[in-house]
């Protein structure tokens, strides 16, 4: 059982059509993804052993996935010994119930959050709200999205679909005043708003980029410093962590702290890296809870091909190079995990029935695989997931028929001949243009945006037989 915000409510082609109509969105996305894409390329190009680093990252993660129960148990023991309380949650509902109960026990009505994909995945904010608890997002982009009453559309840059003047308008509507739409002015308005929240909050909620098994240490990598505020100021810290975030040893961090910033923000090193291990008397939160979330990960682990998606370190490099993402944005994917990684992660985490159109939301161009710092072969997993459909009856019939024809020389030659003959009158009708403007369903989907070519007057094998075999 799993749930939360990883199930798309609309099939991808339907959701994509709506987003495609938004020219502003496309312009914003193009700008943002190309800027970050170029920056990533420059930073990756600086590292002479980048390919070896990628291989190390993939190998460490694969090792983790192959002995996850053992490492999780080790992590739990170490974190408990350091004074943290570890909780286990099988699915989104269980995770939300645990966190909500922990917050309620503190008697507070407002918590500060540092951006956490897994709390979005499980739909934690809604659950807290239902219990009368306000969750304040403190990451700048996350705050913008929250103030807009919107949902994130990118893993790393949740407000990527807005430009600066749209952001100023959102701030104005919410009483955050910025005189201009200059990024520093907007950031200053957010800073003033958030400072008051940080100083009054008694409970902080975080995710973790990594969880070190040998020491029970959690790691958060961020750019704005809001994370460190959330992690150090409140009395109580609740960290919600996906079970795949485990790394065996401290030394393994060396690899990922190089891979992650260069892949995600295109920086050599991120500005803030916070590590905390349980409770330290007189310093930082005096009560620390860690909620380890499964929510479909164990089932994903059981799939030989698909499990590589669990290597993902949420850097979003695949989103920034994806030509499909660039056109439709994150909302079309209907999940907190958009883009290429979302197209393989969301269907697996949410189990069989949901998100079945997402694996088709790709041309298999492979740019994502090249960009992935942990070498997730996203095209391979996409094709793997397509084996289970959906296969519309007409398509299935056509595929079966074509397979039956194309495996036999005589049937195949006859079919080519028939297609060539069938096209003759159309060729005559199209005259010198030689291309077709409108075809009947289902080929009308092709001619909706482009002309169609016609079969040639003579197939290659007819030419060969005529010219070469006499």
Partner 1 sequence: MKVALFVTCVNDLVFPGTGRAVVEVLERLGHTVEFPVEQGCCGQMHANSGYREEALPLVANFVKTFDGYDAVVGPSGSCVAMVRDWYPKLAPDSGEVVARTYELSEFLVDVLGVTDVGATFPHRVTYHPTCHGLRMLRLGDRPRRLLESVRGLELLDLPGAEECCGFGGTFAMKNAGVSGAMLADKCRSIVDTGAEYVAAVDNSCLAHIGGGLSRAGGPAKPIHYAEILAAS
Which residues of the shown chain bind partner 1 in the complex (CB under 8 A)? 12-13, 16-17, 20, 26, 323-324, 327-328, 359-367, 369-370, 383, 386-389, 391, 395-396, 399-400, 402-403, 406-409, 412-413, 416, 419-420, 433, 435, 437, 442, 445-446, 448-456, 458-465, 468
**Cβ proximity to partner 1, 67 vs 396, nearer residue:** 396
Instruction: Classify 113 as helix, strand or coil.
Output: strand
| Nearest distance, CB of residue 155 and partner 1, angstroms | 20
d(CA 375, CA 368): 9
Q: State the number of CA atoms in the 13 A half-sphere of 310 facing the CB.
A: 30
Residues with Cβ within 8 Å of residue 301, at least 6 apart in sequence = 65, 68, 307, 310
Q: How far is the CB of 143 from partner 1 (least distance, A)?
A: 30
CA distance 218 to 246: 9
Q: Which is nearer to partner 1, 124 or 436 (CB)?
A: 436
Contact in structure between 212 and 249 (CB atoms under 8 Å): yes
Q: How far is the CB of 403 from partner 1 (least distance, A)?
A: 4
**334 dihedral zone (left: phi>0; alpha: psi -120 to 50; beta):** left
Query: By C-beta, is 223 or 458 nearer to partner 1?
Result: 458
Smallest distance, Å, CB 163 to partner 1? Answer: 19
Taking alpha carbons only, the member of 369, 372, 377 closest to residue 53 is 372
Query: Rounded to the nearest whole angstrom, what is the least distance from the CB of residue 412 to partner 1 in the complex?
Result: 5
- Collect all residues with Cβ–Cβ distance below 8 Å to 73 and sequence separation of at least 6: none
Q: Of 175 and 431, which CB lies nearer to partner 1 in the complex structure?
A: 431
Minimal distance, residue 387 CB to partner 1, in Å = 5
Strand-strand pairing, 236-242 and 203-206: parallel
Instruction: Write down the residue that tokens 């700008």 correspond to.
Output: 31
Give the DSSP letter of residue 353.
T
Q: Which is nearer to partner 1, 16 or 315 (CB)?
A: 16
DSSP code string of 245-286: GEESSGGGHHHHHHHHHHHHT--SS-SEEEEE-S-BTTBS-S
Q: How far apart are the first and last CA of the chain?
A: 67
Question: Which is closer to partner 1, CB of 403 or CB of 470?
Answer: 403
Burial class (CB in 10 A: 0-12, 13-18, 19+), 310: buried
Question: Is the Cβ of residue 248 or residue 455 nearer to partner 1 in the bound state?
Answer: 455
Rounded to the nearest whole angstrom, what is the least distance from the CB of residue 326 to partner 1 in the complex?
A: 8
Q: How near is the Cβ of 2 to partner 1 at its closest, in Å?
A: 23
Write out the two tokens for 198: 């940080």
Interatomic CA distance for residues 226 and 232, integer angstroms: 10
Q: How far is the CB of 49 from partner 1 (least distance, A)?
A: 19
Of the pair 132, 403, the CB lying nearest partner 1 is at 403
| C-alpha span between 234 and 236 (Å, rounded) | 5
Q: Which is nearer to partner 1, 188 or 462 (CB)?
A: 462
């Amino acid at each position: 059982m799993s749930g939360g915000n990883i199930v798309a409510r609309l099939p991808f082609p339907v959701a994509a059509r709506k987003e495609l109509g938004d020219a502003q969105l496309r312009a914003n996305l193009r700008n943002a993804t190309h800027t970050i894409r170029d920056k990533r390329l420059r930073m990756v190009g600086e590292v002479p052993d980048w390919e070896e680093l990628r291989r190390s990252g993939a190998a460490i993660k694969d090792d983790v996935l192959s002995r996850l129960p053992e490492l999780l148990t080790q992590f739990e023991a170490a974190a408990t010994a350091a004074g943290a309380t570890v909780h286990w949650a099988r699915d989104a509902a269980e995770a939300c119930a645990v966190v909500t109960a922990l917050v309620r026990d503190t008697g507070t009505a407002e918590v500060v959050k540092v951006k956490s994909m897994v709390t979005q995945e499980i739909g934690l904010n809604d659950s807290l709200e239902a219990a009368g608890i306000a969750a304040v997002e403190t990451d700048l982009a996350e705050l913008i999205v929250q103030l807009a009453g919107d949902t994130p559309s990118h893993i790393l840059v949740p407000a990527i679909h807005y430009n600066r003047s749209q952001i100023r308008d959102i701030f104005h509507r919410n009483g955050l005043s910025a005189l201009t739409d200059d990024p520093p002015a907007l950031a200053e308005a957010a800073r003033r708003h958030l400072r008051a929240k940080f100083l009054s909050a008694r409970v902080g909620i975080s995710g973790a980029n990594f969880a070190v098994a040998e020491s029970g240490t959690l790691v958060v990598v961020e750019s704005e410093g809001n994370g460190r505020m959330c992690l150090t100021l409140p009395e109580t810290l609740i960290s919600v962590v996906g079970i795949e975030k485990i790394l065996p040893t401290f030394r393994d961090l060396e690899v990922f702290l190089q891979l992650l910033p260069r892949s995600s923000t295109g920086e050599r090193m991120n500005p803030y890296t916070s590590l905390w291990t349980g409770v330290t008397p007189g310093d930082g939160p005096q009560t620390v809870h860690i909620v380890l979330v499964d929510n479909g990960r164990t089932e994903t682990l059981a799939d030989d091909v698909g499990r590589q998606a669990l290597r993902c370190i949420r850097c979003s490099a695949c989103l920034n190079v994806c030509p499909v993402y660039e056109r439709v944005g994150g909302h079309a994917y209907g999940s907190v995990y958009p883009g290429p990684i979302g197209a393989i992660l969301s269907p697996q985490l949410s189990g069989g029935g949901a998100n079945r159109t997402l694996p088709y939301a790709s041309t298999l161009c492979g740019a994502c695989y090249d960009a992935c710092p942990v070498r997730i072969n996203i095209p391979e997993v996409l094709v793997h997931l397509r084996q289970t459909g959906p296969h519309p009856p007409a398509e299935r019939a056509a595929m079966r028929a074509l397979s039956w024809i194309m495996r036999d020389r005589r049937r195949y030659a006859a079919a080519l001949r028939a297609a060539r003959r069938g096209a003759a009158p159309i060729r005559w009708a199209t005259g010198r243009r030689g291309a077709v403007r409108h075809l009947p369903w289902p080929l009308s989907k092709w001619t909706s945006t482009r002309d169609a070519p016609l079969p040639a007057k003579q197939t290659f094998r007819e030419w060969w037989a005529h010219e070469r075999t006499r």
